[in-house]
Amino acid sequence: MHPLERLVNLVALLLESTRPLTFDQIREAMPEAYAQQEVASAKRMFERDKDILRDVGVPVEVAATDAWDVEQGYTISKERYYLPEIDLTPEEISALFVAAHAGGEDATAEQGVRKLLYGADGAFLARTSPPPVASESRGLDARLLAAAEAIGDRAGVRFTYRTSRGARSERLVDAYGLVVRGGQWYLVGLDRERGEIRSFRFSRMVGELERADAATPPPDGFRAADHVVAAPWGPGDAREHAVVAFSPDVAWWATSGLDGVEALGTREDGWHVMRLPTAPGDGIVSWVLSFGPDAELLEPDTLRADIVRRLEAVLA
């Protein structure tokens, strides 16, 4: 008998049975599967089958078969097996179908959405096709899923983090929320050592993200997105400002997608002058330098002097 037939039959048997079944009763009910060999090896095969069912997500439970707790039997609770009714519109199911297939080789989301399809309008689905996505689109980061689970369980997480300036350190964070911004995922939480709520870009985590002990709950009215400021060099709370002029070639896109940018006007030479929030550190200096001769930092003087110094070091 083919394993697939055996597994389907086993699910049907345990799902339809009104009481827990012992291995002997299962063997008796499915002789072609578990009675073709001696008990010990049949039992091993059954154990493997049970593991496969649990692996697939079938909730096989162990329960006493009688009030005296003499024998243990196996059962699948209908309530725990079946997907609850989710009142999704055809548009919503289609949108989820598209999203699940949008990128990455990781098939977990696709498996998930297939379970929702049964409630969809077939004709509507037929018109849905996933958006084309390039092969380099990364699948969901395993660390992102681990962080999502930690937030779900209100647990802390531990990871190695590399800041935008390259410094590495170990972080222990009470995970409060996830934010997606411009295709990048961020974790927001309380950095226990620093005693502050910080944001961390997943792509800057080094190695794995591990679960730590229980976390404190987020403060009242907490909004994770408030802690992810899209400064040019990544997240960071804006405490200062810089004024930068951009050539017409780059001015139209240089600051798109950044928060808190104020256009101050156009210079006589056609360059656009903008005021940008900046975080402490020299992130803004290297960001402005990445535009080469297409950007000029005007204020503050200290950062302007830093840029000139950096340029002279290259030319020395």
User: Alpha carbon of 297 to those of 252, 290, 303: distances in Å?
Assistant: 17, 12, 8
| CB of 153 closer than 8 Å to CB of 173 | no
The verdict on 89 binding other proteins (CB under 8 A) reads: yes
Chain positions 209 to 248 lying near other proteins, rule: CB under 8 A, are 218, 223-225, 228, 230, 243
Report the SS3 class of residue 183. coil
Q: Can you tell me which residue has the tokens 């597994």? A: 7
Minimum distance of other proteins from residue 71's CB (angstroms): 20
Query: What does DSSP assign to residue 21?
Result: B
Pick the binder of other proteins from 9, 45, 211, 237 (CB under 8 A).
Answer: 9
Residues 292 to 311: which contact other proteins by CB under 8 A?
Answer: 292-294, 296, 298-299, 301, 304, 307-308, 310-311
112 makes contact with other proteins (CB under 8 A): yes
Q: What one-character DSSP code corresponds to residue 117?
A: G
Could you tell me the smallest distance in angstroms from the CB atom of residue 42 to other proteins?
A: 15
- Residue 116 CA: distances (Å) to CA of 105, 125, 138, 245, 251: 20, 12, 24, 51, 45
Give CA–CA dist 147/164, Å, rounded. 21
Confirm or reject binding of residue 72 to other proteins (CB under 8 A): no
In the complex, least distance from residue 17 CB atom to other proteins, rounded to whole angstroms: 10
Distance CA 131, CA 9 (A): 38
Judged by CB, which is closer to other proteins: 69, or 84?
Answer: 84
Of 68 and 307, nearer to other proteins (C-beta) is 307
CB of 236 to other proteins, least distance (A): 14
* Nearer to other proteins (CB atom), residue 192 or residue 304: 304
252 binds other proteins (CB under 8 A): yes
- The one-letter amino acid code at 282 reads D
- Distance, in Å, from the CA atom of 39 to the CA atom of 214, rounded to the nearest integer, reads 45
Instruction: For residue 107, state whether it binds other proteins (rule: CB under 8 A).
Output: yes
Neighbours of 295 (CB within 10 A): 20
Task: Supply the minimum distance, in Å, between the C-beta of residue 136 and other proteins.
Answer: 5
The residue among 138 and 194 lying less far from other proteins, judged by its C-beta, is 138
Dig out the tokens for 286 from the structure. Answer: 């290297």
Please state the φ and ψ torsions of residue 69, each to the nearest 5 degrees.
65, 30
Residue 144 CB, shortest distance to other proteins, in Å, is: 6
Q: Report the residue from 18, 40, 69, 82 that binds other proteins according to the rule CB under 8 A.
A: 82
**CB 49 within 8 Å of CB 69:** no
Q: If you ran DSSP here, which 8-state letter would residue 85 be given? A: P
Least distance to other proteins, CB of residue 217, Å:
8
- Site for other proteins (CB under 8 A): how many residues? 136
Q: Which stretch binds other proteins (CB under 8 A): 39-47, 65-73, 190-198, 283-291?
A: 283-291
**Helix or strand run (H / E) with residue 145:** helix 142-152
SS3 178: strand
Q: What is the pattern of x (binds other proteins, CB under 8 A) and - over residues 124-163?
A: -xx----xxxxxxxx-x---xx--xx-xxxx-------x-
Smallest separation, CB 69 to other proteins (Å): 26
